[in-house]
Structure 1
Amino acid sequence: MKKLSFLIIGALSMSQLMAQDISDALRYSFDDIQGTARFRSMSGAFGALGGDLSAISINPAGSSVFTRSYATFSLSVQTINNDVNYFGNNRSSSESKFDLNQIGGAFVFNNTNGNSPWKKFVLGVSYDKVANFNNDWTASGTNTNNSIASYFTSIAQGLRLDEISKFPEESYSEAYSYIGYAYGYYNQQAFLGKESHIIAPVNDIPSNTSYVSNIAPGSYRQNYYYSARGYNGKLAFNMSSQFKDKLYLGLNLNTHFINYERFTYLNESNNNSGSLVHEVGFENGLYTIGTGFSFQLGAIGKLTESLRLGATYTSPTWYTIAEETTQYLETYRTEGGQEIAQIINPNIINVFPDYRLQTPGKFTGSLAYVFGDKGLLSFDYSIRDYSNTKFKPKSDPYFSSQNSLIRNTLSTASSYRFGGEYRIQRVSLRAGYRFEESPYKNNDLYGDLNGYSFGIGYNFGNFKLDAAFDQSKQDVNYQLYNVGLTDNALIDSKVSNFVVTLGFNI
């Protein structure tokens, strides 16, 4: 894979912002809290329980369940196994990452005024990894439907030839940068296709707006490489209080962090009769950083000594996101009996204006039954309307079209989490199950998630040691490009986590 060297930075105006789509919106909308080992071993069913630092991320009232100040940190190993099918050809990959995925503390202040119904006040802070973006896979197969040329021809139609062409005195870098600044991201794509000879104008005049492919119909051997790195993290500042022995109330003020990098590379070759271009290598890089804010309101009520009910409202997350893109294109063609390599390496970083993303809010209802000091059972139900996801400013024409697509494509999704714990003196045995519905109206695009978990813990007195293993499975139809070459790679993804947590009184 050709690596890009970055020499020039090109800024694009807001009206030319074309890098964001529904996949970006969803990527930052999921909140799969990785959490402590106890939290993970019960599949995150903690909304009515509390007493765990990661449980605060589900229901902020949970910190008041602590009887004394407490802190934890968690280490994890996450492994992602992908089985990828592309036009009947299967490829498998595996990626593992070791990480500090959780750290936090809760500070309990007991009310010494015996006449007050407010028994305690708790301040807490907890960091949780919401998502790990590390993922690598390859899709390989023979496509008889679409060539990468369809990507460039689809974009180029309707664009003037003189607005996607290099002047004789310009370098590729200068032309790519100016076209992006003056006309936008789509014109840059058409420029790449035209200058690499993948597409050609129907008429060689400046006002031409029609283009044809220089890659003939037939079959195309395609290898698509996907590599991503990064994370989404959440830092929660927690306040909660206990009212008498029946009610716990809490508030979280959350700061969110996004760091995401993605590289894709498509290699396509053909020996179709009539093809001028017989091989293409196309690389795209995306770099994203962002910050966001959200809040949570939660309550836990003791209906009886054993039965507990929890409720949480999680606000939308309001992100401000900055993105940069890079591109590289190389083609090989046979012309006049000679093999010609055409390399377009603009050495340009496209810097897009910051944009805003609002992810949907969520409601969670929880129920738990505690069997004294013997164990417990817990259930969480959450609902979130992903069609409420919004790019902003909504007045931007491109964002308006994406928001319309989101409303028509995404829907309300529910998640169900079950967990249980059984204690044998100082030893705790735990297990859980979770099911999360697809955010898409069409489940074939993005399947439901199924996961299970189990774990063990030991209470040493002043500190506790917990370990957990969980695994989830989900099918995803990954679309290679937004236009033209829109064929899907079917990815059967299995994510496994092993987590160890040390907790101690402070």
Structure 2
Amino acid sequence: MLKKSLVIMSISAAFFVQAQDVSLIRNTLDVYSNSQIGGSARFNAMGGSNGALGGDANALLTNPAGLGVAISGEVSGTLSVMSNKNTSNYAGSSFGYKVNNADLGNVGGVMTFQLMTESAWKFVNIGVNFSNQSIDNYIETPGNSNIVFDFDANNSSALARHAYDRYGTLSKTSFGVGANYNHNLYIGMGLNFSNVSLDQSDTAALQSLQNGSVDYLSKQNTPYFERSSGFSASVGVIGKLGRNFRLGAAIETPTFWDIDRSYNFYNDPQFGDDYAVENRRLTSPMKATLSAAFVANKNFSMNLDYTLGLTKPSYKVYGGAERQLNDFFDQNQRSLSEVKLGAEYRVKQFRLRGGYSYTASPFDALTVSRYGANGTSGDPVDQSYNNMILGDRNALSFGLGYDFKSFYIDATFQNISSTFNNPLLFGVIDQTEGIEDGYYSPSRLISSSEYVVSDVKNVINNFYVTFGWKF
């Protein structure tokens, strides 16, 4: 039986980096530079916007000065349910696939210490927050009989499908302290410890034109897994402007990631290989958040956050691959830009909440050479894409809450949608007997100098339930 590999030199000369894959670039921004990790049901119902409001442990996700706003202790736990669906459209055909997950999404707590002194410092509070979310993502692109690879006279194959699969979790644990100065000025700082567990595969299926059999080929160096840890620190301030207005500002340092990656071909007994891990170091962007809040009274408040990336992702350079990645981000990646708006209205024990957030696409327009119009095998067409790999994201949310004196329950529904262009199948395809995934010099090769580019619509529906106790 033939063992086959799909060697993707991945992404092209001027716009992408050789010897890397699209998924690595996607993960660098979508996972390791992610600013959208969720919190409690209340936090998510308000679009993740709380930079100038604060008051609970989720302040550590935006502005640690919000810990100083709390005047009573609180603990809470949140159950999250996620439904992530990608629908990939190519040459008039489409395929949709949904991934569902349920997990412990958030645990947080604040301890308040009122200072019984004549000083203007009123409270010093300590907070801890743990947030956890699935990063599962599956994109399957339909095949096309017009895309044919002639390995030899007796071995021609058409593209049957392509599948990109990522599964795992991203978590962030934060510890912080906040202080209240005369109920007019709040300051805070936090330490953040992040972890990623990620498994990745990228597979193309080719159907023989001779006998109809289907062979599955793995992209170069996939499957692989990563186990990573990261550290960052944050500081913030909130000040009152009169009775009803507050302004906030916070800075989070870059996250310094230590990434252990292992490829399947390292661990193949056929070649006598033992378990082996490659280590990578990544510095994700530093972020600044500016916030404004309007607190009309005890019944109504709203908050606006704007987050901007101050730096770009940067890999520690061990060789040409990391250097090419850094050059790609320097030349093509736009700074993180995110706007979040949220509001809360109280009616006796009931809470009504709503929110919206917008995250801009992280890339400038990129031009690639793709297969002819409508997926034909005609002359390649150069085309520019504004949403390559990742697109603009829009998130809408609404939630309800009810207080049972010291206890409360909150529930939130959140919808996140985006569209993007998904490049695949550029590079060298190999069908060679006895060859497993990895770097090698194959004997029979077909070179594909154009991309297949599908249009993907992503819809994520999240549901959160929080149970909490104030003391």
Fold shared per TM-score above 0.5: yes
TM-score bin (small chain) = 0.7 to 0.9
Query: Aligned-pair distance for 1:124?
Result: 1.1
Contact 2:262 2:278 in 1 (8 A): no
When normalised by structure 2's length, the TM-score is: 0.80
292, 298, 301: which is aligned to 1:367?
A: 292
User: How far apart, in 2, do the equivalents of 1:477 and 1:257 lie?
Assistant: 28
Name which of 106, 112, 116 aligns with 1:102. Answer: 106
The number of aligned residues is 408
AA partner of residue 391 (structure 1): Y
Q: Which residue of 2 aligns with 1:138?
A: 140
Q: Is the 8 A contact 1:93 1:138 kept in 2?
A: yes
Query: TM-score, normalized by length of structure 1?
Result: 0.75
Worse-matched range after superposition: 487-496 or 287-296: 487-496
**Would you say the 8 A contact 1:63–1:122 is kept in 2?**
yes
Deviations 1:414-464 (A, max 9, x none): 111111111111111011111110111122302211111000111111111
Q: Distance between the aligned counterparts of 2:167 and 2:318, measured in 1?
A: 32
Cα 1:291–1:488 change in 2 (3 A) is same
CA RMSD of aligned residues (A): 2.9
Supply the distance in 2 between the matched residues of 1:385 and 1:312 (Cα, whole angstroms).
Answer: 12
Q: Indicate the residue corresponding to 1:439 in structure 2.
A: 362
Equivalent residue, structure 1, for 2:170: 232
SS in 2 for 1:267: strand
SS in 1 for 2:264: strand
Identity of aligned residues (%): 28
Q: CA deviation at 1:480?
A: 2.6
User: Does the 8 Å contact 1:238/1:251 carry over to 2?
Assistant: yes
* Match status 1:87 vs 2:31: no
In 2, distance between residues paired with 1:244 and 1:440?
Answer: 44
Alignment match of 2:328 (pick from 405, 423, 429): 405
Assess, with a 3 A threshold, how the Cα gap between structure 1 residues 217 and 308 changes in structure 2: closer, same or farther.
farther
Instruction: Kindly indicate whether the alpha-carbon contact (under 8 Å) linking 1:385 and 1:411 is maintained by their aligned counterparts in 2.
Output: no
Unaligned runs of 5+ in 1: 5-15, 150-212, 329-343
2:94 maps to amino acid: N
Which of residues 115, 127, 140 is equivalent to 2:130?
127
Write the deviation string for residues 170-197 of structure 1: whole angstroms up to 9, x where unpaired. xxxxxxxxxxxxxxxxxxxxxxxxxxxx
Specify whether residues 408 and 270 from structure 1 end up closer, same or farther in structure 2 by C-alpha distance, changes over 3 A only. farther
SS in 2 for 1:351: coil
Aligned in 2, Cα 1:326/1:3: closer, same or farther, shift over 3 Å?
farther
Give the greater-gyration-radius structure (CA): 1
Q: CA shift at 1:262, angstroms?
A: 1.8
Q: Kindly indicate whether the alpha-carbon contact (under 8 Å) linking 1:42 and 1:433 is maintained by their aligned counterparts in 2.
A: yes
Could you tell which deviates more after superposition, 442-451 or 303-312?
A: 442-451
Deviation for aligned residue 1:359: 0.4
Q: Give the aligned partner of residue 390 of structure 1.
A: 314
Cα offset, 1:132, TM superposition = 1.9
Query: Structure 2 vs 1, CA of residues 269 and 247 (structure 1 numbering), >3 Å: closer, same or farther?
Result: same
Q: Sort the Cα spacing of 1:244 and 1:323 in 2 relative to 1 into closer, same or farther, 3 A.
A: same
Kindly indicate whether the alpha-carbon contact (under 8 Å) linking 2:46 and 2:353 is maintained by their aligned counterparts in 1. Answer: yes
Alignment check: 8 A CA contact 1:324 1:349 kept: no
Identify if the C-alpha distance between structure 1 residues 89 and 17 changes in structure 2 by more than 3 Å, giving closer, same or farther: closer
- What's 1:489 paired with? 454
- Counterpart contact for 1:74–1:499, Cα < 8 Å: yes
Letter in 1 for 2:194: H
How do 1:33-52 residues align onto structure 2 when only pairs under 5 Å count?
33-52=37-56
* Map of 2:419 onto structure 1: 475
**For the residues of structure 2 that align with 1:41 and 1:3, how far apart are their CA atoms?**
49
Distance, in Å, in 1 between the alignment partners of 2:67 and 2:426 is 45
2:181 to 243, 255, 262: 243
Q: Equivalent residue for 2:302?
A: 377
Structure number with higher helix proportion: 1
Alpha-carbon distance change, 406 to 438 in structure 1, aligned in 2, over 3 angstroms: same
Report the CA distance shift for 1:243/1:313 in structure 2 as closer, same or farther (over 3 A): same
Match of 2:228 in 1: 290
Of 457, 460, 467, which aligns to 2:401? 457
Q: 1:264 aligns with which of 202, 219, 222?
A: 202
Kindly state the Cα deviation for residue 488 of structure 1 after the two structures are TM-superposed: 2.5
Distance 1:466 1:241 in 2: 27
CA gap 1:347/1:279 in 2 versus in 1, 3 angstroms: farther
Deviation at 1:22, TM superposition (A): 2.2
**How far, CA to CA, are the matches of 1:261 and 1:383 in structure 2?**
29
1:16-415 map, 5 Å: 21-26=24-29, 27-113=31-117, 115-129=118-132, 131-142=133-144, 144-145=146-147, 147=149, 213-214=151-152, 220-271=158-209, 280-283=215-218, 284-326=222-264, 351-385=276-310, 388-392=312-316, 394=317, 396-415=319-338
Residues 45-103 of structure 1 deviation map (CA, whole Å, 9 limit, x = unaligned): 10000013223210101111111111111001110121111332101111111110100
> Which residues of structure 2 form unaligned runs of 5+?
5-17, 366-385, 429-447
Q: State the match for 1:178 in structure 2.
A: none
Secondary structure in 2 matching 1:96: strand
